[in-house]
Amino acid sequence: MRQIVFCCLLFLINTAGNLLKAQPPSVGETIEPEFSVVAVPDKWSKESAVVIGQKTEYIFTRLASGKKYTTVVRILEYIHKRIKIQDKNAQEKFSTFYYVTMGKDGKAEYRIIKANGKRVDIDMKNAIEEENDIPAIYKPIYYRLGIKYFKIAIPDLEVGDIIDYNLRSTINWDMRENGIGFTPFIFSLSNTYSTMYQQYRFVMANGMKVKFRGFNGASNLKMDSKASVFGEKESYVAYYMLDKDREKTTEERWSYELRNTPSVKFRVIMLADNDPDSKELGMATVDRTFIDIDDVYKRYVGAALYRTTTVNTLVAYTTEYIAKKKAEGLLKNDDDVIRECYYCLRKVFLEMYYKGPVHSELEKYMTGKKLYKKILKQQEKEEQKKEEREDEIRINNVVFATSLRTALASQGIQSELFVYMPRRLGAWRDAVFLDELDFVMKVKSKRKNYFIEAFNNFDAFASAYSYLEGVEGYSIGYDEPNKYYKTPGPVSTYQDNISRKDYSMRFTDAMDIINIERISLFTGHEKSEMVGIANLERGYLNKDFEKYYNPPGQKGKKKKEDEVIDITTSTGYDNPDREEKLKERKELMEKDIKKEFDLEKYSEFELLDNGRYGDTATLKYKETFSLKKMISRAGRNFIFDAGKLIGGQIKLEEKELLERQTDIWLSNARTIENNITIDIPAGYTVEGLQELNMSVDNESGAFISTAKAEGDKLIISTRKLYKKNFDKKDLWPNYVAFLEAGYKFSQAKIVLKKK
């Protein structure tokens, strides 16, 4: 009897203890009835596949050591999806399963439910790591720390099967290293497959708060009191979003998902232990406010005020050079000074990188050394990639902002920090988190505003990247405290961004090979893909070091905060691996041509203009090569695939011809030109030129082509224009018109007829 009473007392004591300190819930505990469904609605019976249910769940808990909390927050992830396969196309697509894990203990479970109810479990031990990108249906809404992609072949998948899988991952977030604001969840509720049921669930320990906004009709965030756990010292509060009967979204070219579909921005923030709010916070709360411009100013104003030894060095050498050129009367106005400051900073940075000493890990980061390259690689894995090109060394944007502002201020020219909202994330009014924003420098002269990005080896003065096109933001001034005002971002025209290729061609005597000399010219955004490859052998460094050479002077100062690095400055660059780089460049150029043509032989490359100087900064080079399989015999005559010479053209799918569901977001306006001169073989005439003469021109774009025979020359010219970086979906027929004309031209053939 005494033993029974003792056990009862012990039970009551333990129960009371549990009430004082609540236990954190576990992910994946509840499987909703919606996940047992096997039938799909009749309206979706003809769909390739249907998502019966999907649930994504995250739990944020604080780790404790004894009676005290550590600085580590553990994040548990659980993803559950159930998809019905309804045709051969889906059977083929889902025959390979891809998944993403975070941390060290991520794992997946996968099963197939056959039409007769039989369950087949797949052994995940055979999964292998995948280096390439994976289909959107498999991507999680959260990317952070230790990301790995995996894939596994699914045997015997059949039409009518239901696949059912779940993923579990755990990561530890150390607030000392990563801060108290966790990586935001920014995602769309739309899928490429119709979805019967989806739920997103977030559970947080007390002492945390949530910032949340929904866009374009997204479901609201609700508290789940039944799933929340309350204790005297610790509580866990659950929030969720439910979304049902969601029609599929068609993947369309030139579309920003977050601006065109129901989307969510969500972030968990850990309040500091000494924050007054955390003392009163018995449960997590939801903050639905938008971004505060005062907070933007406080966060970003320091980005151009961060002095380091690297900054001192960049500014000292540049200021001395500018003073010298001013004294020589070579800089006539502010525009000249701004431009030469930029190019001299670039030269000093590259000289520091390729020649100069580096004194610490911090300096490696700040000068773009290998550590910075590793950071870029990790960001790419986490889908935060900044544009990076072949053999690129990019200066840190804080170092650049401070260096440029300081160097210009020494010349009496004020510059500003332009903080903007990337277009793909929304308009400025859609900004919720400071992390969504980015910045470049803005410099005013009497002539224009210059938007200047932190440079790499190949960037030219004031040649902004396409991701700055039409953005909204604020300018932060440094000539007086608390100065900021709203500013539109730059917008380029199709005259600014040109890709032009001029061909001179002749057939061999056997009429089976075409020998070509081609001069390629690029300006503006059109340079981005080729400028790094064209400059791979680093000959540009000799020009930089010679033009901006400044003899060693008294640059150092006694104060430690003004310390300057001694650079081994000279007028040339030894270029030790030049031959290796020349070989690599040729291989890359060959590879580029092989993307569109059957290459017989690649002969020569000559760089005519490296695209790194001047206002237009034209990239220009000449190549000689030969192509095969462009001409075929037809009796005494030959059929020539002339249309293929302008390169691959967009082929619209049948569904694209009929409708457009979302607005049209292009990266930038642009012009693509081809001028082709062909020697007509002796003894032949040309027929079929009427097929190569087209003219479609409207407010959104154009495709205009001409073809004519002049003596023994066949002259073909094409001009394709994308006139805007944005259009409403109602104007999609304009794009169909000129895109279809371009594709039709690419398929055209002419006849070389024997006289």
**Domain ranges across the chain:** 2-289, 631-755
Question: What local confidence, expressed as pLDDT, does residue 561 receive?
Answer: 62
Residue 245's nearest CA partner among 201, 197, 200 is: 197
So what CATH class is 631-755? Answer: mainly beta
Residue 550 · residue 324 · CB < 8 Å: yes
- Return phi, psi of residue 663, to 5°: -65, 165
Residue 2 — pLDDT band, cuts 50, 70, 90?
very low
CA dist 320 and 554 (Å) reads: 10
For the chain, what's the residue count? 755
Mean pLDDT (whole number) for 288-307 = 91
Higher pLDDT, 696 or 62: 696
Secondary structure of residue 348 in the 3-state scheme: helix
Question: What local confidence, expressed as pLDDT, does residue 342 receive?
Answer: 95
Domain 2-289 fold: Immunoglobulin-like (2.60.40)
Mean pLDDT (whole number) for 532-542 = 91
Provide the 8-state DSSP code for 424: G
Spatial neighbors of 308 by CB under 8 A, at least 6 apart, are: 362, 363, 366, 399
For 31-40, 51-60, 352-361, 610-619, which range has the lowest pLDDT when averaged over its residues? 352-361
For the whole model, what pTM was predicted? 0.85
DSSP 165-231: EEEEEEEEEEHHHH-SBPPPEEEES--SSEEEEEEEEEEEETTEEEEEEEETTPPPPEEEEEEEE--
CA dist 603 and 626 (Å) reads: 8
For 190-194, 308-312, 569-573, which range has the lowest pLDDT when averaged over its residues? 569-573
The yes-or-no verdict on residue 204 having pLDDT over 80 is: yes
> Do the domains spanning 2-289 and 631-755 agree at the CATH topology level?
no
CA dist 523 and 492 (Å) reads: 11
Cβ neighbours, 10 Å, residue 76? 20
| 32, two tokens | 């909703």
**Rg of the chain over CA atoms, in angstroms?**
31
Question: What local confidence, expressed as pLDDT, does residue 79 receive?
Answer: 96
Question: What local confidence, expressed as pLDDT, does residue 714 receive?
Answer: 96
Spatial neighbors of 735 by CB under 8 A, at least 6 apart, are: 664, 700, 701, 727
Question: What local confidence, expressed as pLDDT, does residue 233 receive?
Answer: 73
| 678, two tokens | 């062909």
Residue 137's nearest CA partner among 198, 191, 194, 57 is: 191
Cα distances (Å, whole numbers) of residue 724 to 73, 179, 240, 647, 665: 46, 40, 40, 22, 9
Question: What local confidence, expressed as pLDDT, does residue 67 receive?
Answer: 75
The yes-or-no verdict on residue 555 having pLDDT over 80 is: no
| 329, two tokens | 């009367």
Mean pLDDT (whole number) for 251-266 = 91
Q: Tens digits of per-residue pLDDT, 651-665?
A: 999 989 988 989 999
Provide the 8-state DSSP code for 596: T
Q: Tens digits of per-residue pLDDT, 335-379?
A: 999 999 999 999 998 888 777 654 444 444 455 444 334 444 444
Residue 627 — pLDDT band, cuts 50, 70, 90?
very high
Amino acid making up residue 115: A
CA dist 445 and 636 (Å) reads: 66
Percent of the chain predicted with pLDDT > 70: 88
DSSP 284-333: -EEE-----HHHHHHHHGGGG----HHHHHHHHHHHHHHHHHHHTT---S
CA dist 282 and 261 (Å) reads: 35
Q: Tens digits of per-residue pLDDT, 209-228?
A: 888 999 999 988 998 988 88
Beta bridge partners of 752: 638, 686
The yes-or-no verdict on residue 7 having pLDDT over 50 is: no
Q: Tens digits of per-residue pLDDT, 407-442?
A: 999 999 999 999 999 999 999 999 999 989 999 999
